[in-house]
Amino acid sequence: MLSETLKLKGLNYAFLALLFGLKYLYVNLSLNIKLYYRSEKQTRKLKYINSLQYLRLYEFKITISIESQDHNK
């Protein structure tokens, strides 16, 4: 009788440990996925900002070259 109750308690503790482990794994994985997507979003935003800066730089170069051609006429 005593061994059966100990066995049941042991199974309950094992089940609780399994649930806790699965919950920890789920929280850890979801946190890692959120951090990964957040960093991906930031790199995309940085790439977009860099491309805008390149476009402004080329626009500046084009206006300078057009103005210099106008002065040569």
pLDDT at 70: 64
Q: Is 71 part of any domain? A: yes
In tens digits, the chain (73 residues) has pLDDT values of: 567 776 777 778 888 888 888 888 787 777 777 777 777 777 877 777 777 777 777 777 777 777 666 665 5
Q: Is 14 part of any domain? A: no
pLDDT at 26: 81
Q: Is 56 part of any domain? A: yes
pLDDT at 67: 66
d(CA 7, CA 5): 5
Q: What is the 3-state secondary structure (H, E, C) of the chain?
A: CHHHHHHHHHHHHHHHHHHHHHHHHHHHHHHHHHHHHHHHHHHHHHHHHHHHHHHHHHHHHHHHHHHHHHHHC
Range of the domain at 40: 21-73
pLDDT at 20: 84
Q: Is 1 part of any domain? A: no
| Total count of domains within the chain | 1
Q: Is 47 part of any domain? A: yes
